[in-house]
Amino acid sequence: MKQITDILQLKELTSQYRSEGRSIGFVPTMGFLHEGHLTLVEKARQENDIVVMSIFVNPAQFGPGEDYEAYPRDLNRDAKLAEQAGADLLFTPSATDMYKGAQNVAVHVKRRTDVLCGRSRTGHFDGVATVLTKFFNLIKPNRAYFGLKDAQQAAVVDGLIEDFFMDIELVAVDTVREEDGLAKSSRNVNLSAAERKEAPMIYKALQKGAELIRDGERNPEEVVKAVTGIIENTSGVIDYVELYAYPELTPIETLNGKIILACAVQFSKARLIDNIIIDIDEWERS
């Protein structure tokens, strides 16, 4: 695996790959890798000739009260994990490399951001979309890989690719979970022992909501009420439990088509998010 920091070198290498007719799969991350990230690399390895991973803690997506400097970093560990998972090229630029002086243009996301986590993180997805536009232009991947644990981010990227006519296939990969159902996250280490025992109830609650829908419930309020009732039995504080059309993230009065049931729960030192995406039409056909 090659590890580089230089933008010009990145452009030269990826241009060479493309000229040789080799497909490129791209996995963007902010580092401190866990099994969810590595699953994306493994998926990209299966589907492409070359796998490029970026590790870049993007200052543009940190808002007020979110400590950019405190974000966990361990590049040596991450590089070893990336290589073991099958990455061919690891790009680790600095903030000054990616944002040279005052920006002339930035990407502003107009839809899919005023719900779920985006509601309380003003400007966050503008930063995500801006840095991804930079990466996509530099690397020109055939496919880009995102985990569905952050399904709102995947929806925003879907809109970015669609609106700017990018010739990139978005590959959304299912959430990687612990044996008890808890979605894998670097934040899980911040749970106390008691909270770690309670945390799997989040996914169990989402599964209960999905079960109600499978059994014919089409009122979003009833599904949200059932999910909320289960999570309230934990010590976590519910930020939201919401249902939307997916990937549009628009409200729906009667459940149909493809939807997302998502929640965020704040424990003492960790805020956990999770979701289930359901294609009701597909269920009804099966």
The CATH number assigned to the domain holding 218 equals: 3.30.1300.10
The amino acid present at 251, given as its one-letter code, is P
pTM of the model: 0.93
Q: Dump the DSSP string for 31-86.
A: SS--HHHHHHHHHHHHH-SEEEEEE---GGG--TT--TTTS---HHHHHHHHHHHT
- Among residues 24, 37, 136, 209, the one annotated as catalytic is 37
Domain finish residue from 173, 196, 221: 173
**Are 166 and 205 part of one and the same domain?**
no
Which one is predicted more confidently, 238 or 70?
238
Domain finish residue from 126, 147, 173: 173
The residue-averaged pLDDT of 191-202 equals: 97
Expressed as residue numbers, the domain containing 250 is 186-285
pLDDT at position 6, please? 97
Whether the predicted pLDDT of 283 surpasses 70: yes
Q: Percent of the chain having pLDDT more than 70?
A: 99
pLDDT at position 286, please? 64
The residue-averaged pLDDT of 252-259 equals: 94
User: What band does 120 get if pLDDT is binned at 50, 70 and 90?
Assistant: confident
pLDDT tens-digit series, residues 37-46: 999 999 999 9
Residue 181 resides in a domain: no
The residue-averaged pLDDT of 151-174 equals: 97
Rg (CA), the chain: 19
Average pLDDT, the chain: 94
Whether the predicted pLDDT of 98 surpasses 70: yes
Domains of the chain: total: 2
- What number of CA atoms fall less than 13 Å from residue 195's CA on the CB side? 17
Measuring CA to CA, which residue among 148, 152, 147, 144 is closest to residue 111?
A: 152
- What number of CA atoms fall less than 13 Å from residue 56's CA on the CB side? 30
pLDDT at position 72, please? 83
Residue 179 resides in a domain: no
Whether the predicted pLDDT of 9 surpasses 90: yes
Of 57-66, 159-168, 230-239, the poorest mean pLDDT is in 57-66
Which residues does the annotation place in the binding site? 30-37, 61, 147-150, 153, 176, 184-187
Residue 180 resides in a domain: no
User: What band does 69 get if pLDDT is binned at 50, 70 and 90?
Assistant: confident
**Are 30 and 146 part of one and the same domain?**
yes
Active site residue 37: yes
Whether the predicted pLDDT of 207 surpasses 70: yes
**Are 125 and 210 part of one and the same domain?**
no
**Are 163 and 29 part of one and the same domain?**
yes
Whether 210 contacts 76, CB under 8 Å: no
**Are 250 and 115 part of one and the same domain?**
no
**Are 160 and 259 part of one and the same domain?**
no
**Are 90 and 212 part of one and the same domain?**
no
Which one is predicted more confidently, 145 or 188?
145
Instruction: Find the CATH number of the domain harbouring 52.
Output: 3.40.50.620
The residue written with tokens 């996509």 in the block is 136
Peptide bond into 200 cis (omega under 30): no
pLDDT at position 186, please? 77
Residue 256 resides in a domain: yes
User: What band does 234 get if pLDDT is binned at 50, 70 and 90?
Assistant: very high
**Are 77 and 119 part of one and the same domain?**
yes
Beta-strand relationship, 258-266 and 271-279: antiparallel
Q: Percent of the chain having pLDDT more than 90?
A: 86
**Are 94 and 167 part of one and the same domain?**
yes
